[in-house]
Chain A
Amino acid sequence: MTPQRLLSLLKGVVFLVCLLPLGLLVLHGFQNNLGPDPIVTITHGTGFATLRLLVITLAISPVRHLWVRLSWLIRFRRMLGLFAFFYGCLHLLTYVWLFSGFHLSTMIADITKRRFIMVGFTAWILMLPLALTSTKWAIKKLGGKRWRALHRLIYISAICGVIHYWWIVKPGVRTPMKITVVLAVLLAARPAWALLQARRSGARAPERA
């Protein structure tokens, strides 16, 4: 098999795996097996999928830096990011539909009053321009530099997502800790890598002279 064929095959597999959280929800929905509190099952299912996919998307760059042989992972980043946005939309839809019953006034009152909704909504809004500029055409149009700068919004979006999680659990509950630590490591990896690169080139400089 050519590397190109292998890559498209892998892409297909990853695509199906990304659909799994939704597939399971739909399957259990039809079996009437979403648990005692189905609305919460759906809300948590889509919310966790969003956060996990965001974190996986953010893991690709550090992994590529650490193992150059895994550089091809970059080919999966757009798909993973778009799936994060897709689950973010579904998560937002559970709120708009199942919690607010499509009542705009309820939602506006909620967004202004409840900080966990405000920060969650911010996380979604920040993903929106990234999803819209995910095409090759948009990259060309914006230019690589500006496109990269814009897409750094994912850092803020992911941080907002984790804060959203902390603000919805009861005080004292530490379940969001795991994903917080993972995100913190992935975010810290970026300046750490840059620093390391700067030091390396700094150390080499006298030799060159």
Chain B
Amino acid sequence: MLIKKAADIPSSEITPQSAYLNRRTFMRGAAAMGILGLGGDGISKLVAPRRTVAADSKLTTVPSPLSDKGETVTPFQDVTSYNNFYEFGVEKGDPLHNAWRMKTRPWTVTVDGLVKAKKTAGIDDLLKYRPLEERIYRHRCVEAWSMVIPWVGYSLSEFINWAEPLPSAKYIQFLTLEDTKTMPGLYQINLNWPYSEGLRMDEAMHPLALLTFGMYGQVLPNQDGAPVRVVVPWKYGFKSAKSIVHVRFTAKQPHTAWNDEAPQEYGFYSNVNPDVDRTPWSQKTERRIGLPFWKATQPSQMFNGYGDQVAQLYAGMDLKKFF
């Protein structure tokens, strides 16, 4: 791999970050004025959808046997401009517009609850803890759209082993950043903040569950959950908590944000299941992002197609009841 030496770029040519950010703020203001001029941001979004993303630092990865083969990867532009991250707003484009304000350094993850000893890890130590693998996974949102994303990270089980939970720990809970200064969405929707998600310990220890630091060979963009998130590919996307600051091991099933909001719609397990739709819409099909509208719709798969690997976790369970 060719790594460009830092000396190739004279320091005088590097734009100071503050100037870069100011420029962005200015452009945002200019864009906002344009929007007012047009008399509605719906129109401006239709006329000139914002689809630009700043490139970020590269990550070195090793290949993984757990990566999907034969799937067409969704364009980077779509993955970074169309997603849910409610802390930054309830519309799909909001995370791209607002997430740049989030500061991802310094960043620590605190581990407590049923562990040998409370621990805190810096993000850069976590990044170096195990070799980073590239894992191409299907990603299925409960809103019935899906993507194929090349994530970068290592199995969550590695992190759990480092955390040293006690044998009494049966569940893992992820709590994510709640920062009123940088997250306008906290005022837009009254979820039980901070966002909380959880897994049963055997689910979390499954090698497919990924502690994720990057995608497309680079550091995670803020809007996709920087600097560290989990990815649980056989569950609906909201189970994969973003921008994690706190991990807690518990004996009882932890509360989770969407389950608190609407327990009849969003169960604790939330495995992808075309036969169970608790949401107002059907889960039988999904729209693959990035395809033209006449080709986008395709059938959804049980456990998002990862049934061979994960179905045994739920042997004997009534998945209509534990949805």
Contacts and interface: CB of A to CB of B under 8 A. Distances in A.
A115 interface: yes
B201 interface: no
Interface string B249-292: 00000000000011001000000000000001110000101101
B280 A39 contact: no
B168 interface: no
A39 B293 contact: yes
Given A33-B49, A37-B82, 19 more contacts: A24-B46, A24-B47, A37-B296, A38-B292, A39-B297, A40-B287, A98-B293, A114-B280, A114-B281, A115-B280, A116-B281, A167-B280, A168-B281, A170-B262, A171-B265, A173-B90, A174-B90, A174-B189, A175-B91
Contact of A173 (B78, B81, B189): B189
A115 B279 CA distance: 11
Contacts of A110: 282
B189 A172 contact: yes
Contacts of A99: 297
Nearest to B293: A38
B190 interface: yes
**Residue of A29, A39, A110 with most partner-chain B CB within 10 A:** A39
B64 to A, nearest CB: 26
Nearest to B142: A170
A36 B293 contact: no
B261 A172 contact: yes
A42 B293 contact: yes
Contacts of A34: 293
Nearest to A116: B280
Interface in B208-236: none
Interface string A12-53: 000000000000100011001111111110100100100000
Interface in B270-323: 280-282, 287, 289-290, 292-293, 296-297
A198 to B, nearest CB: 38
Nearest to B49: A35
Given A32-B292, A115-B280, A37 B189 contact: no
Nearest to B143: A170
Nearest to B42: A48
Interface in A108-132: 110, 114-116
B92 interface: yes
B289 A37 contact: yes
Interface residues of A, number: 30
B262 to A, nearest CB: 4
A144 interface: no
B154 interface: no
Contacts of B190: 172
A28 B81 CA distance: 17
Contacts of B92: 36-37
B145 interface: yes
10 contacts: A37-B289, A38-B296, A48-B42, A116-B281, A168-B280, A168-B281, A171-B262, A172-B191, A173-B90, A174-B188
B43 to A, nearest CB: 8
Given A24-B47, A174-B188, A174-B189, A35 B282 contact: no
A168 B282 CA distance: 12
B282 to A, nearest CB: 7
B267 to A, nearest CB: 14
Contacts of B43: 24
Nearest to B257: A172
A170 B191 CA distance: 11
A36 B289 contact: yes
Nearest to A98: B293
A29 B289 CA distance: 15
A37 B46 contact: no
**Residue of A33, A48, A171 with most partner-chain B CB within 10 A:** A171
Nearest to B90: A173
Contacts of A40: 145, 287
A172 B280 CA distance: 14
A73 to B, nearest CB: 19
B291 to A, nearest CB: 8
